[in-house]
């Protein structure tokens, strides 16, 4: 005890102890944010039971490298190059909104619960999937998936959320303006919080992000859009390579607008940007392999 008192009797030694404690606290904070899984809640796929028209057993599908078709789901994949960027567009037509779903990594909600897009898609027999909003990277932003509410706090002003109702219709609203009565109404199937909105009610709105670096820089990106009732687009672009630069937000919005989207919403991008179709990843994630993420948006039964 006397040795400890003598050690601490020098003022600079208090500074050493304080610095060590500060480093340990910072290390724990980083592990808690990015590594340690916590608050796990097993999710349930409630989308089918909430549908106005429950899913029917499909006929034997017709599948090619760029298309899928059965009685309920029709998907066509287009790959092209624009703005020195490879772009993948999936045109999707559904018979019922219940085939548009979301899923969590390891079928669980919580911080740092992660997996790659292809594994999540395979676990849910997805026909088509893209990465979601990586909700687990943040502590804020509504999380409502397949009709079940998991997180109830807003990201605050300046952020957009995508609302999908049980008929499959899109609506983009300021995250801070979503009413609790709407959340509790039982009319919504999904709330996705990343953004920004790219097209809202037929007008390109990505321009509101002109002061953001995301607006002016090129990156791999992912988005989903709605053309008309039960008619959707999933879009991904490669980036950060010589073969594919990546897109600015305004360029991505224009491409989706040209494809007929009335609503379009930006999802997590960068190394997360991944599109999966018929059992395999068809784009080239910028990390060289798939990044582990929190969630996906997918088409399937």
**245 and 103, same domain (yes or no):** yes
Alpha-carbon torsion angle 272, 277, 216, 249, nearest 10 = -120
Same-domain status, 192 and 265: yes
> Based on the domain organization, do 5 and 129 belong to the same domain?
no
User: Do both 12 and 107 map to the same domain?
Assistant: no
pTM (two decimals): 0.85
Give pLDDT, residue 3: 57
Q: Which residues contact 301 (CB under 8 A, 6 or more apart)?
A: 55, 58, 99, 125
Are 8 and 141 members of one domain? Answer: no
Cis bond upstream, residue 75 (ω within 30): no
For residue 7, what are the CA distances in angstroms to 10, 17, 20, 66, 121? 6, 10, 15, 71, 58
Q: Which domain holds residue 25?
A: 1-36
The answer on 116 and 21 residing in a single domain is: no
Query: What whole-number distance in Å separates Cα of residue 272 and Cα of residue 62?
Result: 30
Distance CA 274, CA 252 (A): 15
As beta bridge partners, residue 268 has none
Cα–Cα distance for residue pair 206/204, rounded to 1 Å = 6
> What is the phi/psi pair of residue 37, to 5°?
-70, 140
In this structure, the answer to whether residues 91 and 212 fall within a common structural domain is yes
In tens digits, the chain (301 residues) has pLDDT values of 665 556 556 565 545 545 554 544 444 444 444 455 555 666 655 444 444 555 666 789 999 999 999 999 999 999 999 999 999 999 999 999 999 999 999 999 998 999 999 999 999 999 999 999 999 999 999 999 999 999 999 998 889 999 999 999 999 999 999 998 999 899 999 999 999 999 999 999 987 766 677 678 999 999 999 999 999 999 999 999 999 999 999 999 999 999 999 999 999 999 999 999 999 999 999 999 999 999 999 999 9
- Which of 224, 231, 226 minimizes the C-alpha distance to 92? 231
Both 17 and 116 in one domain: the answer is: no
**Residue 216: per-residue pLDDT:** 82
Residue 91 and residue 8 in one domain = no
The reply to whether 1 and 149 lie within a common domain is no
Do strands 160-165 and 170-174 pair parallel, antiparallel, or not at all (unpaired)? antiparallel
Count of the separate structural domains present in the chain: 2
Q: Are residues 2 and 71 in the same domain?
A: no
Task: Tell me: do 80 and 26 sit in the same domain.
Answer: no
């Amino acid at each position: 005890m006397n040795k400890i008192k003598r050690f601490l009797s020098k003022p600079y030694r208090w500074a050493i102890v304080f610095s060590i404690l500060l480093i340990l606290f910072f290390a724990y904070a980083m592990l808690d944010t990015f590594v340690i899984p916590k608050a796990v809640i097993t999710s349930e796929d409630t989308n089918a039971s909430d549908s106005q028209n429950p899913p029917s057993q499909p006929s034997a599908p017709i599948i090619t490298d760029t298309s899928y078709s059965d009685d309920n789901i029709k998907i066509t994949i287009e790959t092209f190059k624009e703005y020195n960027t490879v772009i993948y567009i999936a045109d999707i037509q559904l018979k019922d909104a219940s085939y548009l779903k979301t899923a969590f990594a390891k079928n669980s909600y919580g911080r740092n619960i992660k997996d790659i897009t292809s594994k999540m898609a395979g676990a849910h027999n997805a026909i088509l999937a893209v990465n979601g909003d990586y909700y687990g990277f943040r502590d804020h932003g509504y999380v409502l998936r397949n009709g079940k509410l998991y997180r109830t706090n807003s990201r605050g002003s300046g952020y957009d959320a995508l609302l999908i109702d049980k008929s499959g219709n899109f609506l983009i609203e300021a995250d801070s303006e979503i009413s609790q009565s709407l959340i509790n109404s039982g009319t919504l199937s999904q709330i996705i919080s990343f953004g920004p909105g790219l097209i809202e009610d037929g007008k390109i709105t990505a321009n509101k992000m002109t002061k953001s670096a995301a607006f002016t820089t090129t990156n791999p990106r992912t988005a989903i859009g709605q053309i008309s009732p039960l008619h959707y687009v999933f879009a991904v672009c490669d980036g950060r390579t010589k073969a594919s630069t990546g897109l600015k937000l305004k360029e991505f919005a224009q491409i989706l607008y040209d494809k007929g989207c009335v609503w379009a919403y930006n999802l997590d991008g960068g190394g997360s940007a991944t599109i999966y179709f018929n059992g395999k990843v068809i784009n080239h994630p910028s990390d060289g392999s798939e990044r582990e993420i929190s969630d996906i948006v997918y088409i399937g039964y």
